[in-house]
Amino acid sequence: MKLKGKRVVVLVENGFEDLEFWVPVMRLREEGAEVIIAGKEKDRQFSGKGCLQAVSDSDFASIDVSGLDGILIPGGWAPDKLRRYEEVKNLVKSAHEKRKVIGMICHAGLVGISAGIVRGFRSVGSEGIKDDLINAGAVWVDEPALVDGNLVWGRVVKDIPDFCRKLVETLENGLR
């Protein structure tokens, strides 16, 4: 269990990409991480694009970044909603400033853009946010997954295995 003792918050909102949410959550739990699902409200049910459900363990405002090892932001339509919440932007920005691992796949880079954390970093994601990332000062790289500093990036659903591998490795080994 590579991640025993690690705590990771997963941000959720309606319209998350089912596989980009649940596969990393299962991988993190399989490796022993404590996974906390955080939404706008605690104990609220959220629906993915494919109708899988997730229930929040916590609300965004109750998350203490200092007690975390990382944040996971799944893709889908949810990031476009998540980026509108000040609590989410503050949480992600604070985690970045404290050099916590931040995993973003597919459209999740939209949250990173709104939190102001992508400038100067190599990035990857859905082709649909390529221009947004470049305009926010990120360097676009077309790879399945990559790590730059504390940011772990994944491209799309088919790249989930590479993304999960890099996310687990980065959480396990720490930042270099």
Confidence at residue 86, expressed as pLDDT on a 0 to 100 scale: 98
**Strands annotated E in 113-173:** 122-123, 139-140, 145-148, 151-154
Distances in Å between the Cα of 172 and the Cα atoms of 69, 153, 166 are 10, 16, 10
Cβ(166)–Cβ(146) under 8 Å? yes
Cβ(140)–Cβ(134) under 8 Å? yes
Type and span of the H or E element at 85: none
pLDDT, tens digit (0-9, with 9 covering 90-100), for 16-58: 999 999 999 999 999 999 999 999 999 999 999 999 999 999 9
pLDDT, tens digit (0-9, with 9 covering 90-100), for 72-109: 999 999 999 999 999 999 999 999 999 999 999 999 99
Tokens standing for 99?
Answer: 């050099």
Angle, helix 18-30 to helix 160-173, in steps of 10 degrees: 40
Please, which pLDDT band fits residue 169 given cuts at 50, 70 and 90? Answer: very high
| pLDDT tops 90 at residue 128 | yes
| pLDDT tops 70 at residue 9 | yes
Residue from 98, 52, 92 nearest 72 by CA: 92
Type and span of the H or E element at 8: strand 7-11
In the beta sheet, which residues pair with residue 151? Answer: 102, 148
Confidence at residue 174, expressed as pLDDT on a 0 to 100 scale: 84
Q: pTM of the prediction?
A: 0.97
Average pLDDT taken over every residue of the chain: 98
| Residues labelled catalytic | 106-107
| pLDDT tops 70 at residue 176 | no
Domains and CATH numbers, the chain: 7-173 (3.40.50.880)
